[in-house]
Amino acid sequence: MYGIDIYNSKNSHITIGTNKEKKFSLDIYQISNHDPLEELLNEFREGQFSTTLTNKQKLSLLKMLRKNRPKFAISEEPLGKIKGHDIELYLDVERPYLPMLRTPPYPESLETRKEIEKLINELLDMDVIRKIGHNEIVEITTPVLITWQDGDSRLRGDFRALNNYTKADRYPKPRIPHILEKNWQKPDT
């Protein structure tokens, strides 16, 4: 049973069944004719698109960009956030690691330490790095601040000692005669 409740109200409401306490508003909402392409173009106004793309292609591209927005760098977040692609390094040595791999931080000036702290906090805010707990077994690299001539600075990790003990990835290229022999063998008759 549907009914319109107009008792003691300025607006009309719909009630369902005999429950007069649950009211659903009949407010009239203005329906706008908005173009989804214009809405997405406004959202991605920093981007420039090829003039050869059709509106349908632009709309498809913009929907894909919106869906995967965290993975792309934007002016507010200069690094994208891609999860599930961790790097695994295999070392020639086992724990406990050599003292050469566990180097203490380099002595830095107070100004440099403040700059390193600021850059580390920026990386924490962007979810690029995370704080580790006291019970986690993590080998920590020594942070190094590189300052360029223009005054810009970058935070780097000193992996020189680690590189000496890292097993190299081997992706051997197949030789052409082996490929030919494998793919064009005479079938057994």
- Residue 82 falls inside a structural domain: no
With a CB cutoff of 8 Å and minimum separation 6, the contacts of 143 are 105, 116, 120, 155, 156, 157, 158
Structural tokens at position 17? 């069944």
Please give the torsion angle defined by the CA atoms of residues 110, 116, 122 and 125, in that order, rounded to the nearest 10 degrees: -90
pLDDT at residue 79, as a whole number: 67
Domain count, the chain: 3
- Residue 73 falls inside a structural domain: no
- Residue 74 falls inside a structural domain: no
Residue 96, preceding peptide bond in cis (omega within 30° of 0): yes
Instruction: Give 110's pLDDT tier (boundaries 50, 70, 90).
Output: very high
Among 40-54, 71-85, 88-102, the range with the most confident prediction by mean pLDDT is 40-54
Q: CA–CA distance from 16 to each of 10, 11, 32 (Å)? A: 19, 16, 29
- Residue 78 falls inside a structural domain: no
> Do 21 and 41 belong to one domain?
no
pLDDT at residue 68, as a whole number: 84
> Do 153 and 95 belong to one domain?
yes
Residue of 14, 181, 167, 147 whose CA lies nearest to 93: 167
> Do 42 and 135 belong to one domain?
no
pLDDT at residue 12, as a whole number: 61
- Residue 122 falls inside a structural domain: yes
| 33-42: average pLDDT | 76
> Do 164 and 146 belong to one domain?
yes
> Do 97 and 145 belong to one domain?
yes
Q: Taking all residues of the chain, what is their mean pLDDT, rounded to a whole number?
A: 75
With a CB cutoff of 8 Å and minimum separation 6, the contacts of 158 are 103, 106, 141, 142, 143, 144
Looking at per-residue confidence, does 88 or 59 come out higher?
59
pLDDT at residue 8, as a whole number: 46
Question: What whole-number distance in Å separates Cα of residue 143 and Cα of residue 157?
Answer: 5
Q: CA–CA distance from 8 to each of 11, 12, 13, 14, 17 (Å)? A: 9, 10, 11, 14, 19
Check pLDDT > 50 for residue 164.
yes
pLDDT at residue 5, as a whole number: 46
Between 27-36, 43-52, 86-95, the lowest mean confidence (pLDDT) is in 27-36
> Do 26 and 45 belong to one domain?
no
> Do 57 and 20 belong to one domain?
no
CB neighbourhood size of 176 (10 A) = 8
Check pLDDT > 80 for residue 21.
no
pLDDT at residue 92, as a whole number: 82
Check pLDDT > 50 for residue 1.
no
Looking at per-residue confidence, does 11 or 67 come out higher?
67
Range of the domain at 46: 36-67
Say which CATH number the domain at 160 has: 3.10.10.10
Check pLDDT > 60 for residue 7.
no
Please give the torsion angle defined by the CA atoms of residues 89, 93, 94 and 95, in that order, rounded to the nearest 10 degrees: -90
Instruction: Give 31's pLDDT tier (boundaries 50, 70, 90).
Output: low
Question: What whole-number distance in Å separates Cα of residue 151 and Cα of residue 146?
Answer: 10
- Residue 97 falls inside a structural domain: yes
> Do 59 and 9 belong to one domain?
no
